[in-house]
Amino acid sequence: MSREELRNTLASLHETLNETSDVDDETHELLLSITADIQRLLTDEGGAADADETLTERIANISRDFDAHHPMIGGLLQRLSDGLANLGI
């Protein structure tokens, strides 16, 4: 997955989050934090070398939480995690 595809997936995630009203505030803030971290890495060409190793773990954990109640969000998070791994982040 290219950086542009990751950006598009992030945009889809933001759109889906804005349309989802039954996500609690804490989870919503966590998702925003994760997406902000991903966006920061994508704008920093050297980001892969400096990436926080726990980012992919954070994405995987929250993705599992969403799979049952919000499969669309869970799927988008999984795509982001896979895309970051493909880029070496």
Query: What confidence tens digit (pLDDT) does each residue in 7-54 have?
Result: 898 889 888 888 887 888 888 888 888 888 888 887 875 555 455 557
**What's the pLDDT score for residue 89?**
72
Compare 89 and 19 and report the one with higher pLDDT: 19
List the structure tokens of 80.
């982001």
Cα-based torsion angle of the residue sequence 29, 23, 44, 7 in order, rounded to the nearest 10 degrees: -160
| pLDDT value for 49 | 45
Helix (H) or strand (E) holding 7, with range, is: helix 3-19
